């Protein structure tokens, strides 16, 4: 039982688990912001322009109401939320690309053998494939 508890402690204390927890919490808060933006600002503007409100559209089958309009509104809200998230993430990526410093290119670790054209270590003095002596 102690090994199970120790294993669980090790799992919880890993950095990626904590990063995931923080991401989920921030994602929940961000969802509330985006949902409010879509439902309270964008949807009413679209309603003013096009007059779209499907929530009252109901189909009755065998004395059962099927609220197709609410489903259509949910799909429209999903698409609007997806579009807003796409726009926000695209803007954040663009801003990050502007701020990000260009990384230095890593020094090459391999070279091509001039005789057999095989890839070999940069420090090699003899090709392991064709055994040719390489120039220094």
Tens digits of residue pLDDT in 11-21: 777 767 777 88
User: Using one digit for the tens of pLDDT, what is the confidence trace for 33-47?
Assistant: 877 877 788 777 777
The residue assigned the tokens 């997806």 is 82
pTM of the model: 0.47
* Polymer length in residues for the chain: 136
Look over the chain and give the mean of its residue pLDDT values, rounded to a whole number.
82
Show the tokens assigned to 80. Answer: 């609007």
| 115 has pLDDT over 80 | yes
Per-residue pLDDT band for 52 (boundaries 50, 70, 90) equals low
Q: Is 105 helix (H, G, I), strand (E, B) or coil?
A: coil
Q: Go through 57-72 and write b for each residue having 16 or more CB atoms within 10 A of its CB, e for each that does not.
A: eeeeeeeeeeeeeeee
Count of CB atoms situated within 10 Å of the CB of 38: 21
Dihedral class, residue 59 (left if φ above 0, else alpha if ψ from -120 to 50, else beta): beta
């Amino acid at each position: 039982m102690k090994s199970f508890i120790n294993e669980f402690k090790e799992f919880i204390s890993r950095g990626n688990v904590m990063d995931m927890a923080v991401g989920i919490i921030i994602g929940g808060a961000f969802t509330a912001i985006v949902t409010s933006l879509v439902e309270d600002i964008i949807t009413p503007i679209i309603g003013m322009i096009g007059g779209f409100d499907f929530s009252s559209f109901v189909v009755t089958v065998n004395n059962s109401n099927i609220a197709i309009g609410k489903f259509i509104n949910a799909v429209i809200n999903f698409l609007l939320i997806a579009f807003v998230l796409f726009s926000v993430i695209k803007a954040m990526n663009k801003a990050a690309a502007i701020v990000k410093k260009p990384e230095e290119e890593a020094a090459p670790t391999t070279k091509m053998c001039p005789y057999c054209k095989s890839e070999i270590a940069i420090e090699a003095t003899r090709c392991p494939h064709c055994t040719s002596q390489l120039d220094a």
